[in-house]
Structure 1
Amino acid sequence: MEKIRSIDIMNDKKLTIRINIVAVILMIFFYIFFTGVTVFWPTGNFGQSYQLGNIIFGLLLLFALIVIHELIHGLFFKLFSPTGKVKFGFKNGMAYAASPGSKYTKGKFAWISAAPFVLITSCLTAAYLLGIMPAGAYILFAATHAGACVGDFYWCLLLVKAPPKTLVEDTEVGIDLYL
């Protein structure tokens, strides 16, 4: 097996800056997209005014979304490599889950990468559509979370471009691709 590419997302400053710029662009795009969801499927739940208690609750919910996001990655790492060790951390402004040394097919790693976006976005959308979450909160949390998934989207983009039989090794700083 030959290593064809190594991506160090944690220590490559230029890559980190580009990813953060794309994250802001994605947040704006998803803000518009999720606003469209509330326009086409109004629930009548527009929420309360922004009071200090709501802001604190919102920040706690955002923190919870980050933790849940990384736990979902960890769950899928374990699902596809039951003997692999999963590590969680926070470095360079990024929360992460990693399974250093574990190798995955492109398809499995795509699931590991995309699962938090799919599951959390689905739950937030369901909460909005059921009237549990007000439109403003839904737009804010869904757009912020979707934009913050930029690293996961980047992994998926790399996997689409990689040769068909590529294996992905998760590392503590990124991924290595093998043929």
Structure 2
Amino acid sequence: MQKIAVIDVLGDEALQARIMALSLVLMGTTAVAAVLVGLICGLGEVTWPWWWLGLAAGCLVPLPVHELVHAACFKLLCPGCRVSFGVQGAFLYTRTDGVVATRGRMVAVLVAPALLVTGCVLAASLVAGSPVLAVLLAGIHLSGCAGDLIMAAASLREPRCTHVRDTETGIDLLFCPRDGSR
């Protein structure tokens, strides 16, 4: 396998700046959407004491759940891999120390929490009758998915990438010729 690119989320300051920029754009979009939903549906829900507890819990609980979804996807799509967790700065992360997966499988691992966890907080808030909270929690969680989304996009943008290796600091984009040659 040939290494095409290294995506170092934990060590590349320029990449961290791009992640932060995307996260801030998503947060700004969330704020605008929450205001619009509040104007359309009314802001009465924010006067409920439980709403504020839901906001606090909905910001914190999805963080470890997000990483557990990554872990479950690694276990499902990369059988036999060893999963571990870590924290560096503002980043929580799940890693497998070198597992190599097809690009499609790794993209699925990367985007699964953005889809599943965001969908769950959105649905739970809507079922509770709190559309403003739904928008806020969905947007807050998505903003925390910025690094995963950027890594998935980088994998998909590189036409030569056939496989992706999980690393201690991010991912490596790989090319594996069909005939097995180097």
Q: What TM bracket, shorter-length normalisation? A: 0.7 to 0.9
Contact 1:30–1:146 (8 Å) recurs in 2: no
* C-alpha RMSD over aligned residues: 2.5
Please list the CA deviations of residues 107-141 of structure 1 after superposition, one character each: whole Å capped at 9, or x if unmatched: 111111111111122222322332x1522322221
* CA–CA separation in structure 1 for the residues paired with 2:130 and 2:57: 16
The AA in structure 1 aligned to 2:7 is I
Q: 1:108 aligns with which of 83, 105, 109?
A: 105
Aligned residue pairs: how many?
Answer: 175
Counterpart in 1 of 2:70?
73
Q: Which residue of 1 aligns with 2:147?
A: 151
Structure 1 residue 169 corresponds to structure 2 residue 157: no
SS of aligned partner of 1:6: strand
Aligned AA for 1:140? L
TM-score normalized by structure 2?
0.83
Structure 1 Cα separation of the partners of residues 60 and 93 of structure 2 = 13
The within-5 A match list for 1:96-135 is 96-130=93-127, 132-135=128-131
Which residue in the other structure is 1:10 paired with?
Answer: 10
Q: How far has the Cα of 1:27 moved from its partner? A: 1.6
> What is the percentage of aligned positions where both structures have the same residue?
30
Q: Secondary structure at the match of 1:7?
A: strand
TM-fit CA distance, 1:59 = 2.8
**Structure 2: gaps of 5 or more residues:** 176-182
TM-score, normalised relative to structure 1 = 0.85
Q: Which moved more, 1:133-142 or 1:102-111?
A: 133-142
Shift of 1:146: 0.9
Kindly state the Cα deviation for residue 178 of structure 1 after the two structures are TM-superposed: 1.0
Alpha-carbon deviation of 1:7? 1.2
Counterpart residue number, 1:22: 22
Q: Distance in 2 between matches of 1:67 and 1:86?
A: 14
Equivalent residue number for residue 137 of structure 2: 141
- Letter of the aligned partner of 2:9 in structure 1? I
- Secondary structure at the counterpart of residue 84 of structure 1: coil
- Deviation of 1:89 after TM superposition, in Å, equals 1.3
Q: Is the 8 A contact 1:46 1:134 kept in 2?
A: no
Amino acid at match of 1:134: S
Q: Residue 123 and residue 34 in structure 1: after superposition, are their counterparts in 2 closer, same or farther (change >3 A)?
A: farther
For 1:64, give the aligned amino acid.
V
- C-alpha separation between the residues in 2 aligned to 1:22 and 1:123? 22
